[in-house]
Copies of this chain bind each other. A is one copy, B any other.
Amino acid sequence: MSNYKARQIHLISRPVGMPTHDDFALVEVELESPDDGEVLVRNHFMSVDPYMRGRMRAEASYAAPYQLNTVMYGGAIGEVMESADASLQVGDIVLNGAAWQDAFVAPAATVSKLTPFDPGQLSLYLGTLGMPGLTAYVGLLKYGEPKQGETVFVSAASGAVGANVCQIAKLKDCRVIGSVGSDTKAQWLLDECGVDAVINYKTCGDLNKALADAAPEGIDVYFENVGGDHLQAALNVINPFGRIAACGMISSYNNAEPVPGPNNLMLIVGKKIRINGFIVSDHGDKREQFLEDMVGWIQEGRIKSRETVVEGMDNAVDAFLGLFSGNNFGKMVVKL
């Protein structure tokens, strides 16, 4: 037995519709000392992300669903406290997939040592320099294929993925239109991220009209994070041969029953649109180039990051639930 205990969040029932606190339980466990080849890690930050809602369904479509009555998984950054493997030393910072717990024992090979470009900004490796940043980078550049002078429309534009999409598109000399759910987020995109036009979808009235007004020359790329009305509006204004990078459809994640989709899908044919769904985990081969580019852009002040930091495992479920009401501003992380 080690000297460490871990606090874990377990999924104890599969939510129907919007999850509630009753679907989760906080569980404290004693940790064994690491066996040969293992390390004991204390997590400093864990990530909460919209994709986790999908993992709570029994029929999760592209990864193993969370098992009931065990700890959930997700991205985290921790520090090695005990090591029984030569590859890692006490004090090493490691990226790991063992979130929803503040400490754990695992084989050293299942965590990856990080040499942070700035030790004061560790949590960036869960956001702009982590999975959401790589998602933005791959989705926009590989599937959106933005060309200089084109117009890029981004939904959930101030989110962990969206804000990076907006700023990378600006780096590629595109005109960028973002959709967000608050005026504060809109102002940040305009003032800090250089976005050209922002729509507050909660107050704009008819989204189709708002987007048409914001995009008098149409859009060429749509980075899809939301689905539903946003996809419908994007199809209405997208130009011939437009590209849609389909990253997520958060508007549907908490539907208890499936909701019908846009009524204008025939425009996919008429406008010769390409849609690519994608999942970041297929694109690990891009990570090295991504990190080199992104660290450079951050150091040059060309990519800015917003984070919402929630304190403590006791508040992790609230942090997760807040993703669906837009309580986060930028990347939502939990400090442990």
Contact = CB atoms under 8 A, between A and B. Distances in A.
Interface of A: 54, 61-62, 224, 227, 231, 240, 246-249, 252-253, 258-279, 282
A282 B262 CA distance: 26
Contacts of A253: 266
Contact of A261 (B54, B260, B275): B260
11 contacts: A62-B272, A248-B266, A258-B263, A259-B263, A260-B260, A268-B277, A270-B277, A270-B279, A272-B279, A274-B274, A274-B275
Contacts of A273: 275-277
A275 B265 CA distance: 11
A198 to B, nearest CB: 24
Contact of A240 (B62, B258, B275): B62
9 pairs of A and B residues whose beta carbons are closest in the complex: A260-B260, A258-B263, A261-B261, A61-B270, A268-B277, A275-B275, A269-B277, A62-B270, A261-B265
B268 A246 contact: yes
B231 A270 contact: no
Contacts of A54: 270
A272 to B, nearest CB: 5
A98 to B, nearest CB: 23
A261 B259 contact: no
A59 to B, nearest CB: 10
A223 to B, nearest CB: 12
A277 B260 CA distance: 20
Nearest to A63: B270
A265 B231 contact: yes
Given A260-B261, A271-B61, A274-B274, A266 B279 contact: no
Contacts of A268: 246, 275, 277
Nearest to A262: B261
A266 B278 contact: no
* Interface hub of A54, A264, A277, A282 (most chain B Cβ within 10 A): A277
Given A261-B263, A275-B274, A269 B282 contact: no
